[in-house]
Structure 1
Amino acid sequence: MRRNIHIIIIEDEPATARHLEYILKEINPEIQITKCLQSIAEATEWFTLNDNNYDLIFSDIRLSDGLSFEIFRKVNIKKPVIFVTAYHDYAIEAFRNNGIDYVLKPFDKEEITRTIFKYHILIAADSEKRQNEKASLLQKLQNATKHYRKSFLIHYCGRLIPVEAAKINWFHTANEIVYAHLSDGRQYIMEFTLEQLENELEPTLFFRANRQFIINKKAVEAVEYFFNGRLLIKIHPSPQDQIIVSKAKAMTFRKWLDQ
């Protein structure tokens, strides 16, 4: 971790910028703070004139004249960015703007050490690996921040019945009608397609096994090897039709079931 890194700090609070600089120097005395920028206007002008004279950016998000993402929309910045902010709300946007990490204020030496170590790991990797990691982190953030269905309000015999999503063991479609099956044997007609349900259900709990079935992990009793690399899924309560996972989806299904 002794490589000489040239860092830009974008921070409108001078005391915070000084504190960050002090910690960075403690971590590695060879780190050079090339410039401290305090606003969108100042940063946009500087980056326009200084294309590649630095290695890494530490940037606050809420600045005195707006959100720092505006800088990255105005200037084509190719260097990695570590966002440092007091707010949770901008994580996804941060990773869409060259972000490699998201540090919450107030930060300490341990957190900055960790993020600098992560920077070294990333620059040591090839470009494709970095892009894959960014895509994976972004997907995890999107999954974490997306609100999945907790329950359904189902029409049944002239009534509306609330049913918790987690209590539905499996969904299946037949004759263009989608049914929900509960562990106690009850069955309800759903006003959704399987495609809609797939997007609204928690992906760590529900899996689209094939074109006919979405299954709840808690309902899986056993998995048997089937013909040609396929898998036969045994669930409770048992459906009339067999649930077969294709060879192409078998590995994904096994990873889902094992996490």
Structure 2
Amino acid sequence: MNVVIIEDEDLAAASLENLLKKSPYPISVKKRLESVEDSILWLQENTCDLILSDIHLGDGYSFEIFEKLKTSTPIIFTTAFDEYAIKSFQFFAIDYLLKPYNEELLNKAMEKYINLHENKGYTNKLEQLLLQMNSRIQHQKEKERFLVSKGSLSISIQREDVAYFMAQGKYLFLFTFDSESYLYDGTISSLEEELSEKYFFKINRKYIIQHSAIKNISKYSNNRIKIDLQPSLQVEEMLLVSAQRIKDFKNWLDN
């Protein structure tokens, strides 16, 4: 079984690949892709048996890939936002996994793929799968507290005290409104799945910001928006909303 992973976070991709290697099924990871653009280019020229795809990528949503390619390859989507459950079944989705990855649920999803593939039963099973996914998603809870570390200390930070998160290399940092910074154990993609869209938004591959942390918003170019935060960034870096996220960002601000 040749599998393609579409995931832009190194740690999340490594975790998924490691779980696939432990699977009782004969699985070979044929390729890992990190963006909408690269996925479209690769899948136009190559085939696989199954795709495991994160929905949120650095340059957009993975739905854009499958809308363009009109692929019939079965897909297992990974995210935590219930609003995407129904849309995922517009494609050949056979399951909808929630992060962080769980070995048991992943193996069940692979078993489901094998059974459906052998029985040619994709269409007949969609309604049943959708009911299962909606039931699972309803039990998810949005994070209200974050366990962080600073030196030898571990501290629990309340959601309303968080100004923004910043990914830097292999690390993820939490910044509070009182200008303190802490190390947070996780990846920006897995964290995004746990946060309430009412308060937080991932503006690019490095930053997730809280609405009340925005100080100023200004036009930077025809397809870029510049943001000033409060407290200010502790690094010399211009904070820009990625071109692919501008429409969603504006909608988020207007809700």
Normalising by the residue count of structure 1, what TM-score does the alignment of the two structures yield?
Answer: 0.49
Q: Tell me which of the two structures has the higher relative contact order, counting C-alpha pairs closer than 8 angstroms and 6 or more residues apart.
A: 2
**TM (normalized to structure 2)?**
0.50
